[in-house]
Homo-oligomer: A and B are copies of this chain.
Amino acid sequence: MLNRRKVLLTAGSVAVLGGRAFAQQSTPPGTDPLSAWNEGKAKAAIVEFVDRVTRAGSSQFIPVSERIATFDNDGTLWPENPMPFELAFAVDVSRAQTSSSTSAAGRKTPDRSAKQPRNRKQVIEDLVLATHTGSTIDQFNSSVRNWIESAVHPTFKVPYTALAYQPMLQVLNYLRAYEFKTFIVSGGGATFMRVFAERVYGIPPEQVIGTLFKTKFSMVDDKPVLTILPQIVHVDDRAGKPVAIQQIIGRRPIAAFGNSDGDLEMLQLTTISHRPSLGMIIHHTDGDREWAYDRHPASSGRLSAALDEAPRRGWIIVDMKRDWNTVFKSVT
């Protein structure tokens, strides 16, 4: 069954791409750079958009310098279940801290005793601050590196980085082949993601935008030290995304990929009164191969307002079950 599908796909891809000079030049015959995508509206939208803005002579040609594409991370480039992977890191580190600490209170948890009861959001924020701050950048990087190299996803029993979505890795490569500059714009911690983003996604640290903690520079023993302080200075979610895009990238993307209401404002910034542009939402519809969720308030990445707004904005909904023939980079 898999083989038959692959053959059909390859044939279809050649038909779609056959007339385009780039595809003929840069991909070996019969090789589809978007082979993990089934033929359909979503795949066609990507191919058509890239052709329209990059083909010499196109009326909607965009110069290379303006080919900026932004990608959410959790739920867009890799899963966010059974919990966001960075939260899994925080839980693991917190457990290790508690078991190695002589104090039952844990060594870095802020004192919230005066604020009872603590809600879910507060608990998560405390956990994140306790595991992401108070160390130097170098120490934190080591901690993330150790975890990412050893931790195993509870459902798939593979390293977390093996769960990058193969279709999205192909989109990243496809856009870069057409001289797009690809950025991550995620609610995750920028420093956390930078540890693996280059290796897993081909995205260098300076193109990773995320949530930021207050950071202090000081000279210690005549050496420069950057210390992460327990205060969040930028939450890179919702309206925080277009703000960070302005502050850090300094111009509007022409393509944006997200999967939740946290990406709504980034999609608005990218596509409204800004043509040509492409807005795309990964809809988690595959409960067999991944997870199926959208509007439920308890969903990790809740998708409701953005789903409602998609039709009138022309945003493409990617139906993971229907549009992807392969989900993960390393899991079949």
A residues engaging B (CB < 8 A)?
65, 68, 137, 181, 190-191, 194, 198, 204-208, 212, 215-219, 222-224, 226, 233, 239, 242-243, 246-251, 265, 268-269, 272-273
Partner of A248, one of B181, B206, B243, B273: B206
Q: With the chains together, A190 CA to B250 CA distance in Å?
A: 8
Q: Are B205 and A224 in contact (CB under 8 A)?
A: no
Contact, CB under 8 Å: B212 / A247: yes
User: B205 and A249: CB pair below 8 A?
Assistant: yes
Tell me if A251 and B219 are in contact (CB < 8 A): no
Are B190's CB and A206's CB within 8 A?
no
B269–A243 touching, CB < 8 Å: no
Q: Is the CB of A268 within 8 A of B65?
A: no
Assess the A190–B247 pair: CB atoms within 8 A.
yes
B242–A226 CB distance below 8 A: yes
A216, A219, A223, A247: most-surrounded residue (chain B CB, <10 A): A247
Contact A206 B181 (CB under 8 A): yes
Tell me which residues across on chain B come within 8 A of A194, comparing CB atoms.
Answer: 250-251
Complex Cα distance, B223 from A42, in Å, reads 25
CB < 8 Å: which of B198, B215, B218, B268 contacts A247?
A: B215
**Chain B contacts of A191 at CB under 8 A?**
246, 250
Copies of this chain present in the complex amount to: 2
Q: Which residue of B lies closest to A268 (CB)?
A: B224
Tell me if A224 and B181 are in contact (CB < 8 A).
Answer: no
Residues in chain B near residue A268, CB distance under 8 A: 219, 224
Q: List the B side residues contacting A198 at CB < 8 Å.
A: 65
Q: Do B224 and A265 have beta carbons less than 8 Å apart?
A: yes
Distance between A71 CB and nearest chain B CB, rounded to angstroms: 15
Give the CA-CA distance A226 to B246 in the complex, in Å.
8
Say how far A320's CB is from chain B's closest CB, in angstroms: 27
Flag if A217 contacts B239 (CB, 8 Å): yes
Chain B CB within 10 Å — which of A191, A233, A248, A249 has the most?
A: A248
Q: Within 8 Å CB of A247, what residues of B?
A: 190, 212, 215
12 more A-B residue pairs beyond the given contacts A194-B250, A205-B251, with a C-beta to C-beta distance below 8 A:
A190-B250, A191-B246, A206-B248, A206-B250, A212-B247, A215-B246, A216-B239, A217-B239, A224-B273, A226-B246, A233-B233, A248-B248
The residues of B that contact A272 with a CB separation of less than 8 Å are 222-224
Residues of B within 8 A of A215 (CB): 243, 246-247
